[in-house]
Amino acid sequence: MAFHLQDGWHFERLEDGSVRLYIEIDGRRPFATVATEDSWASAVSAVSAEGENSETHQAALELHRGKARAARRRRRDGDE
C-alpha cells in the first residue's frame, strides 16, 4: 500500500526494500521511479535537520530496514 504525501505524490515500499515514488493525476501515473534502499536513506538523511553525513545516513538506513530500535539500544549501551 502506498503512502500519499500530498498533491498526488505517493511512496510505496517494495518487497526488496526499494521505494517506488510516483505521482498520480486523474488516475494516471505520468512519472514513476524506484529508489534503492541506499538512495532512499540518502534522501531521508539529506532533508533531516542535521543533513546527510555517515551517522544520519546509517540511522535512516536502519530505520528503513526496521533495525532502528536495536541500533538505539546498542548506542545507549555503548556497544558500538
pTM (2 decimals)?
0.77
Q: Report pLDDT digits (tens) over 43-52.
A: 999 999 999 9
Tell me, what's the pLDDT at 67?
82
Instruction: Tell me the C-alpha distance between 68 and 53, whole Å.
Output: 17
Strand 19-25 and strand 9-13: the pairing is: antiparallel
Please tell me the least confidently modeled range out of 2-16, 42-56, 63-77: 63-77
